[in-house]
Amino acid sequence: MTDHTKTEYDVIIVGAGPAGLCAAMYAGRGMLKALTIERGAPGGELLNTDLIEDYIGFESVKGWELAQKMAEHAKKFGAEIVTDTVERIRKRDDGWFDVATARGRTYRAPAVILTAGGTPVKLGVPGEKEYAGKGVSYCAVCDGAFFKGEVLAVVGGGDAAVEEADYLTRYASKVYVVHRRHQLRASKILQERAFANPKIEMIWNKQVVEIKGTDRGIHHLELVDAVTGARSNLLVGGVFIFIGFKPNAGLVEGHFKHDAGGYFVTDDRMMTSIPGLFAAGDVRSQLTRQITTAVGDATTAAIAVEKYLAALREEPQLVRMAREAVRE
């Protein structure tokens, strides 16, 4: 049985999605004393994805299955994973990090790899909060089966929105994709699949300004035309919102370099502007956010942590050697 009373580690990995599990695997291979903290089951967003077709080596694999394989692989190399929610990451004056959790534990390490991803961006319109879980969803895989035979709407125009719209057609009688522009941002192959699906209909240049319903759930969306300003109603039984993610960067106390979206800016070793704090996966500023890029980031971060810790161990020796040289 794992002893969780020991609070000091070589590295603490925050998050156990693809990036976190990959980092844990490499940390184990590097013989580092590592702890991975995940608020739910290992796998992260993989558990909210039905089918994955763009992870090299797997032409088609279920999200939960890939998550399971990754977790098993990490554990094979000794990964220690605890279920808890990280609430704060703070660097102390002595150079070590305190990682505080919701269960009242504080874990310490000289290095942290943050792979906490992000949380769905909300529309911020009336009715969204009131009908959350009652027709408003941010996860098609989680909630799609509850809407069999319904007419649904997906809000967004990127890869996630188009993928989830396609997935929802297995349950819904019709799926509207509501996008504020006149063309999608999703990859061409996903667009082609959506355009070829007879159950999907595109609604261009429209924004949702209110979600309305009754005690039974959602009744319709109120839309505004982005060009003319005209208002209209769209009758739906549910709405799935995929307009982006906000990085979970708020866990870190203190100033750090970030881009306009709040994503961590790192160097080529995945180190942030806070020495010893590394970022990998969706929380990092980059061109695209895929499983492949997440595990690539994590590989670099974990190996960089090994070298960072080695440098820290050598530093006192170098200082001592310099002092002795001065005395001579």
Residues with Cβ within 8 Å of 299's Cβ and at least 6 positions away in sequence, in order, are 22, 23, 26
Active site residue 142: yes
Q: What are the tokens at 216?
A: 């039974």
* R_g of the chain computed on alpha carbons: 23
Helix/strand/coil for 127: coil
Active site residue 225: no
Question: Residues 10, 50, 139, 225: which is the catalytic one?
Answer: 139
Question: Residues 54, 142, 259, 267: which is the catalytic one?
Answer: 142
DSSP state of 5: T
Residues with Cβ within 8 Å of 186's Cβ and at least 6 positions away in sequence, in order, are 157, 158, 159, 161, 162, 163, 194
DSSP state of 146: G
Q: How far is CA 30 from CA 33, 37, 204, 276, 299, in A?
A: 9, 19, 51, 17, 11
Active site residue 143: yes
Question: Residues 143, 159, 166, 282: which is the catalytic one?
Answer: 143
Positions annotated as catalytic residues are: 139, 142-143
